[in-house]
């Protein structure tokens, strides 16, 4: 039986010879005690649920911070790799030009060797480009996964807000 404060205020006891009917008063007090016990149980359940939701929020915030740090580290590593690859490419190209000049000046007999060196450098360059491209693709996929998880966390945060507002 659910009771409201108005029910308690409007309840009238029968007056008997020595005052109120004791059984009726005791019954009413029992009903009130039951109603308050239910409210206390519900209140405790809600407090526990709020505490769990707070822990979930903290965990999600920690995950978000970890993802942010990972993203920043990935971007930093990617920039370093680009710079290193560019410098390596410049060094390789400069080295190839020097070697090509020396080979041309020495003789036509070394022309075959020069063509082999240039082919090897081009192959290395292609390998570097492929490696850089695969790293960029991997990081892009990581970013997309992070965005998906961020969207899920945003949806869960919206649910938490809705639960908190409805409480």
6-29, pLDDT tens digit by residue? 676 677 777 777 777 778 877 888
More confident residue, 55 or 158: 55
Give pTM, 2 decimals.
Answer: 0.38
* Range among 16-25, 29-38, 106-115, 126-135 with highest mean pLDDT value: 126-135
Average pLDDT over residues 32-40: 83
Distance (Å, whole) CA 154 – CA 146: 12
- In a 10 Å sphere around its CB, with 0-12 CB exposed, 13-18 middle and 19+ buried, how is residue 156 labelled? middle
Measured in residues, the chain has a length of 167
56-90, pLDDT tens digit by residue? 999 999 999 999 999 999 999 999 999 999 999 99
CA distances from 102 to 63, 99, 108, 120 (A): 57, 5, 11, 17
CA distances from 56 to 51, 62, 165 (A): 9, 10, 17
Query: How far does Cα 59 stand from its chain's mean position?
Result: 9
- As a whole-number percent, the residues of the chain with pLDDT over 70 amount to 88
> Mind spelling out the 3-state secondary structure of 109-146?
HHHHHHHHHHHHHHHHHHHHHHHHHHHHHHHHHHHHHH
CA angle 58, 55, 46 (to 5 degrees): 140
- DSSP conformational letter for 103: H
């Amino acid at each position: 039986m659910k009771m409201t404060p108005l029910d308690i205020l409007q309840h009238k006891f029968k007056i008997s010879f020595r005052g109120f009917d004791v059984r009726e008063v005791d019954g009413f007090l029992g009903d009130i005690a039951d109603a308050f016990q239910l409210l206390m149980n519900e209140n405790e359940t809600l407090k526990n649920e709020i505490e769990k939701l707070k822990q979930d929020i903290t965990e999600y915030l920690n995950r978000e911070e970890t993802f942010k740090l990972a993203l920043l580290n990935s971007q930093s590593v990617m920039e370093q790799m680009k710079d290193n690859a560019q410098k390596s490419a410049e060094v390789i190209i400069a080295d190839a030009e020097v070697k090509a000049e020396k080979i041309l000046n020495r003789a036509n007999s070394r022309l075959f060797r020069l063509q082999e060196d240039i082919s090897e450098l081009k192959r290395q360059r292609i390998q570097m480009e492929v490696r850089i491209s695969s790293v960029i693709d991997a990081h892009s996929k990581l970013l997309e996964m992070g965005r998906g998880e961020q969207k899920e966390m945003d949806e869960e945060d919206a649910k938490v807000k809705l639960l908190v507002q409805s409480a």
